[in-house]
Amino acid sequence: MPSPMSDFSHSRPETTAPWDRNIPEKMLALYLDSVRSFPAWKAMCPHYIHPDVKEVSELGYHSTLLRTEQAEYVFTFSTKTTFIYEIEEEVRTGQLEIRCDNELVLNVGASCTDEEEGKPEWVARSVEVFCDGEWVADLLGLAARQQAHERQRVQLETRERQRHAQELTSLRRKFGVEESPGAPGQAAAPLKGPQGWQRLRFWKKRTS
């Protein structure tokens, strides 16, 4: 008996169906913002991965396997650069494929806009393949939970850093230890942002 995750109602529905639910944009964001970084996070900061992700591994260049309780997915993202003679510019495009239990369920074409801070910004432009099914709710739900999970982890680490800083300040005051004054004309060192967020941005940038 085929898996319910592979029992799709139709292979090529109306082209507006996925756009009506923002599926291309959300799946592209899920991959670019989280899934492609999961293998690195698994080794360095696994607590940033939501517990609903049961398994994750890197299959190859820009190809990641992700398993939830309901299905196994393979995300593959490919890019190419084309020189357009009419405008004398290079245009960078991408393609995201998602397979659910070895079935191709989504193929999204994307374009790359101007880069900000060295990170390309991808925008979903077309849907070549969309097979509706239970995988949609599974991945949309995971995307929302993963995003909330990352925010919670960053907030937690921020609070922990603030608590440690307060404890250190209290100990210094208790034992009469004062901060060493800086050199004349030297500005005070700026406060650092939350380490969790910096680490998250570092791994995302490395995998972009």
Greatest mean pLDDT range, 59-68, 112-121, 153-162, 171-180:
59-68
**2 located within any domain:** no
Return all residues near 190 (Cβ < 8 A) that are at least 6 apart: none
Given pLDDT bands bounded at 50, 70 and 90, which one contains residue 186?
A: low
**3 located within any domain:** no
**Domain total of the chain:** 1
**124 located within any domain:** yes
Tokens of 27: 């799946």
Given pLDDT bands bounded at 50, 70 and 90, which one contains residue 202?
A: low
Given pLDDT bands bounded at 50, 70 and 90, which one contains residue 119?
A: confident
Q: Which residue has the higher pLDDT, 31 or 155?
A: 31
Return all residues near 3 (Cβ < 8 A) that are at least 6 apart: 71, 101
The type of residue at 84 is I
Strand partners, 92: 81
Residue-number span of the structural domain to which 30 is assigned: 14-170+194-206
**178 located within any domain:** no
Q: What is the CA radius of gyration of the chain?
A: 22
Lowest-pLDDT choice from 44-48, 112-116, 155-159, 203-207: 203-207
**8 located within any domain:** no
Over 90: is that where the pLDDT of 187 sits?
no
Beta carbons within 10 angstroms of residue 160's beta carbon: 13
pTM: 0.70
pLDDT, residue 208, reads 55
Lowest-pLDDT choice from 52-56, 73-77, 115-119, 153-157: 115-119
Greatest mean pLDDT range, 15-19, 63-67, 151-155, 202-206:
63-67
Given pLDDT bands bounded at 50, 70 and 90, which one contains residue 151?
A: confident
Over 50: is that where the pLDDT of 89 sits?
yes
Q: Is 95 helix (H, G, I), strand (E, B) or coil?
A: strand
**1 located within any domain:** no
**182 located within any domain:** no
**47 located within any domain:** yes
